[in-house]
Structure 1
């Protein structure tokens, strides 16, 4: 039977190497062979099993609850709707997510990059892509921003958090595979908006929702946003507005973006500064996200509309 190195397993399952190793060690999800130099070797069956586990966790199941299931049992879970959370379990899960946020924040205060990455890796293993981004990383970075603006965190703390989280997000995004005919999302921030963490979170959340994503970095002029959207045949454009909150030039820039994109292309806008520009967002027909958790539903709505047309 042919066996493969972990890089092949990553590409075929959409999982990061961190997650594969944690699922193997903590949950005995697979038992790979080893080369003479102790490198892991995964069979086709191992990779298929990891892929099934990934599918089921994306549907809302926790890896600890499903790792012991047979392939047939996992297949059955992929054919039904995602499990609805038990109300009695929700407080425990929320507490678990908050625990990761608290411990990650402690690592940041201690300038412990390895400790921070370890917390993110364990949270990723427990919750999967979507919940990690929406319930752990997004609230963590929002809290980091609040504490920094209050003066309770040093600039070195904020820089370490941003660097580690960005590297971790990039690792997840590189491990995600999307179909060549999947809908395409352009993600950026407008001119004058230089904070990119929100845009990065949007990009990996969309990729986890099986969209192709072109992330253009921050501070992109309206005409260049439109150029990238046209060149890629984009199904939508997403903008993150973070800081400054009350930039007087931002409203005009948003109007320019809509004019450059045309009236039909969906424009998704989120971030703290979005609420300061609600009249403009309504005027240009943008979809405003109240929270990152709303992104997947909006992407689903856009894709469903495209499929009907």
Structure 2
């Protein structure tokens, strides 16, 4: 069983630490353990209860009423809430809860409802990308383990591969071509899978090379495939100099091919501008790029 500090709980649930203390003191919603130095420690069950209460409270149910509910009543209300039209209001928190508990059935249920209501494009951009940002924060503070991240990433990868397969054969005659890849030691492929899907949806011919690709192998493929663009993502922590050196290597070795980049690390580092480098910071950026590429 995991133990969480109040700071961890604040990061996971989005509930301010002050609010959690008020709920404990005034309503007795949970009674965390305390260390000898009076530090609060929360259990998995405490976390689950707070996530449920937070979602129900955000939907308009008063905290005084929620405090009187037992665990079964809370779960029943959550199930009813999950049937509402505005599923994005609770989906991310429920996906996080499913990740923490390795609950594949819950994750599949929520994700499938999102896909049915919104489609792959909106579900990925509006729900899955923000979800992974939250997961990244939880991983940094030690709340999410690599096993949990791999568990949930593989489920999402399966959905994206299925969506990409459904578009097979849809490229236009003489379509422009993009290679999607990740450099060596980069394993986070959800974003490039998603943008691969968008490119194919717009009639672009794509070649997906996946994770951890040696630079020499990329050179060989480019020489054979003759793409119009190379698309990659930087999620794993990387120094500013290493990041810029890699981008420079791409521009110098593959001129005049477009170099298209995205990823969390671009927000943390200063990227040297280059005329052939396109930074994708939003879905609109990428749609604009592929529209011009057509």
Q: State how far apart, in whole Å, the 2-side matches of 1:276 and 1:144 are.
A: 17
Q: State how far apart, in whole Å, the 2-side matches of 1:98 and 1:294 are.
A: 25
TM-score (norm: length of structure 1)? 0.61
Q: State how far apart, in whole Å, the 2-side matches of 1:149 and 1:155 are.
A: 11
Q: Does 171-180 or 156-165 show the bigger shift?
A: 171-180
Q: State how far apart, in whole Å, the 2-side matches of 1:284 and 1:195 are.
A: 27
Q: State how far apart, in whole Å, the 2-side matches of 1:150 and 1:211 are.
A: 39
Question: Which of 214, 219, 241 is the equivalent residue of 2:234?
Answer: 241
Q: State how far apart, in whole Å, the 2-side matches of 1:259 and 1:223 are.
A: 14
Question: Which of 95, 99, 104 is the equivalent residue of 1:104?
Answer: 95
1:83 alignment partner in structure 2 = none
Give the Å deviation of 1:271: 0.4
1:266 alignment partner in structure 2 = 258
DSSP 3-state at the match of 1:217 = strand
| Contact 2:240-2:270 at 8 Å conserved across structures | no
1:7 alignment partner in structure 2 = none
Closer/same/farther in 2, CA of residues 118 and 210 from structure 1, 3 Å limit: farther
Give the Å deviation of 1:210: 2.8
Q: State how far apart, in whole Å, the 2-side matches of 1:156 and 1:194 are.
A: 14
| Contact 1:108-1:161 at 8 Å conserved across structures | yes
Q: State how far apart, in whole Å, the 1-side matches of 2:241 and 2:187 are.
A: 15
DSSP 3-state at the match of 1:187 = strand
2:117 alignment partner in structure 1 = 126
Question: Which of 194, 201, 215 is the equivalent residue of 1:201?
Answer: 194
1:77 alignment partner in structure 2 = none
Q: State how far apart, in whole Å, the 2-side matches of 1:104 and 1:240 are.
A: 24
Give the Å deviation of 1:107: 1.5
Runs of 4+ in structure 1 deviating by more than 3 angstroms, as ranges, are: 275-279
| Contact 2:259-2:277 at 8 Å conserved across structures | yes
Give the Å deviation of 1:199: 2.0
Question: Which of 249, 252, 258 is the equivalent residue of 1:256?
Answer: 249
Give the Å deviation of 1:277: 4.7
Q: What are structure 1's unaligned runs of at least 5 residues?
A: 1-91, 304-309
- Please give the residue correspondences for 1:173-184 in structure 2 after superposition, counting only pairs within 5 Å: 173-177=164-168, 178-181=170-173, 182-184=175-177
Closer/same/farther in 2, CA of residues 191 and 156 from structure 1, 3 Å limit: closer
Q: State how far apart, in whole Å, the 2-side matches of 1:247 and 1:191 are.
A: 16
DSSP 3-state at the match of 2:276 = coil
DSSP 3-state at the match of 2:236 = coil
User: Which structure's CA Rg is the greater one?
Assistant: 2
1:16 alignment partner in structure 2 = none
1:32 alignment partner in structure 2 = none
Question: Which of 212, 217, 229 is the equivalent residue of 2:205?
Answer: 212
2:183 alignment partner in structure 1 = 190
Closer/same/farther in 2, CA of residues 266 and 277 from structure 1, 3 Å limit: farther
Give the Å deviation of 1:268: 0.9
1:286 alignment partner in structure 2 = 277
Give the Å deviation of 1:180: 4.9
Q: State how far apart, in whole Å, the 2-side matches of 1:153 and 1:133 are.
A: 21
Q: State how far apart, in whole Å, the 1-side matches of 2:285 and 2:122 are.
A: 12
Give the Å deviation of 1:225: 2.5
- 1:175-228 per-position Cα deviation (integer Å, ceiling 9, x unaligned): 113225232211112234333232222222322333222111122233432432
Question: Which of 125, 136, 144 is the equivalent residue of 1:145?
Answer: 136
DSSP 3-state at the match of 1:216 = strand
1:167 matched to 2:158? The reply is yes
CA RMSD, 1 decimal: 2.3
Q: State how far apart, in whole Å, the 2-side matches of 1:268 and 1:167 are.
A: 24
Give the Å deviation of 1:247: 5.7
TM-score (norm: length of structure 2)? 0.64
2:108 alignment partner in structure 1 = 117
